[in-house]
Structure 1
Amino acid sequence: MPLLIAAGVLTGAGAALAENILLAASGVMVAAAAGMWWLHRRRSARTAAGTGGCADGTCAC
């Protein structure tokens, strides 16, 4: 019986730790995705502002 109690305590502690780690990891991934989206939009806007049409060969027609 004491072995089952110890196993239950260890499993519960491991599950609580894994939950916190997974929540932190998902937060980091959301922040990274938002940062990459922002950089992509910024670079796209900068590129679009500098083009002069298809004459400079940068269009994707």
Structure 2
Amino acid sequence: MSEFEFRKSSYSHVENDCVEVARNLRHTVAVRDSKTPDGPILRLAPQTWTEFTASLR
């Protein structure tokens, strides 16, 4: 079982064409492709994730 608790975006479609994000660990934000849940996981520092998502607004 993964240590991460991934959640899909509310914008995700039935075809799973979205990323999933896990923020349940204090020092890590994990991101993965919902089409390949057993694939690689990008691990980011929470501050990096905050800066990334802020840049999208």
Q: Which category of TM-score, normalised to the shorter sequence, fits these structures?
A: under 0.3
Structure in which a larger fraction of residues adopt helix: 1
Normalized against structure 2, the TM-score is what? 0.24
- CA radius of gyration, larger in: 1
TM-score when normalising by structure 1: 0.22
RCO higher in 1 or 2 (8 Å CA, sep ≥ 6)? 2
Name the one with the larger strand percent.
2
